[in-house]
Amino acid sequence: MNQNEKELVNILLLGFDISKWKPNDIEWKEINDFINDPIESNRISNFKRPNKDGSWLIGKDNDSAKSSIIGRRLMIELVNKMLSLDYNSIKFKRTQSNKPYLSTTTTISNKFSFNISHDSNWVIGIGSLISDSIGIDIMDCKIPRNQKMSEFFDTMSSCFTDNEWKIINQGKDDQSKIDLFFIHWCLKESYIKADGKGLNIELKSFEFIIDQTNQTAQIFILNDKKNKSILNNYQFTYFKPFKNDKDNNNNSFVIAICLDLTNHNHNNNNNNALTNNIITKDNLSIQILESDFKIK
């Protein structure tokens, strides 16, 4: 087994389709009991969405609440699968910037990083034992129904650099352009989430050059004079996760992943950085979980 093969077992992506999970009151209580975090459960219980009859949708009837509690459940599952910790011993805290982290101490927990994302009916989580931090983002590549593509792009013009818009608009048709838009969007979100600075990062202060063959990307930081400097300590991949999944005919989602390898001993050559990724769409371990995983 070569070095890459050893590393790849240490990166795991879990996915869960909340549209297939319709918990009753007992099951909703069970999953809240399982995550064993009253503060988090209380936060999730405050999610409200207006119903057609004027009432409020909360708890198990609120998709945002379902996505959030499944996100927490995926965090627990990643720790259990990757660190072999007993479910009852897994605890999380939040940083000052509100980013969750594993507070349970083990001999290798300091090497563990994770991130969660959700959009529409999908919640995904990724864990890594080889990176300083990791970021992931998923988006459904669909523009608002009441907008034309050109109008949507105009409203989002400040999100990307001129070079990024040039690549986006080189798509062979409207859907290809929309896909490229969301690929760039997810890449930016994955970097922001891995970096941990959140809204303090200006979206046009960095740009991506993507390799559409290998579905990888390089990131460049832009200074005030529009000069670029490459960040070789970050690696990126992106892909449409359900393309070859016979149970999912909807291939409109895109996922992007960012690995921060600042302190990782990986020799990254500038000339082949786009193809020399530790993590790519073809070697990532992905598990789509079923609804009965929630209390196992």
For residue 277, pLDDT beyond 70: no
More confident position, 51 or 250: 51
- Amino acid (one-letter) located at 121: N
Question: From the CA atom positions of the chain, what is the Rg in Å?
Answer: 20
For residues 196-214, average pLDDT: 88
Question: Which SS3 state, helix, strand or coil, does residue 103 take?
Answer: coil
Contacts of 115 (CB under 8 A, 6+ apart): 125, 126, 133, 134, 135, 136, 193, 194
Whole-number Å distance between alpha carbons of 94 and 99: 5
* DSSP reduced 3-state for 108: coil
CATH number of the structural domain 131-277: 3.90.470.20
Band of residue 292 on the pLDDT scale cut at 50, 70, 90: low
Residue ranges of the chain that CATH labels 3.90.470.20: 1-110+122-127+278-296, 131-277
The mean pLDDT of 178-193, rounded to a whole number, is 97
In b/e form, how buried is each residue of 190-209, taking b as 16+ CB within 10 angstroms? bbbbbbeeeeeeebeebbbb
Domain 1-110+122-127+278-296, CATH:
3.90.470.20
Query: And the tokens for 112?
Result: 């563990």
Residue pLDDT, tens place only, 118-131:
999 999 999 999 88
The mean pLDDT value of the chain amounts to: 87
Q: pLDDT tens across 83-136, in order?
A: 999 999 999 999 888 889 999 988 777 789 999 999 999 999 999 998 889 999
CB atoms inside a 10 Å sphere around CB 245: 13
Residue of higher predicted confidence among 201 and 191: 191
* Residue 250's pLDDT band (cuts 50, 70, 90): low
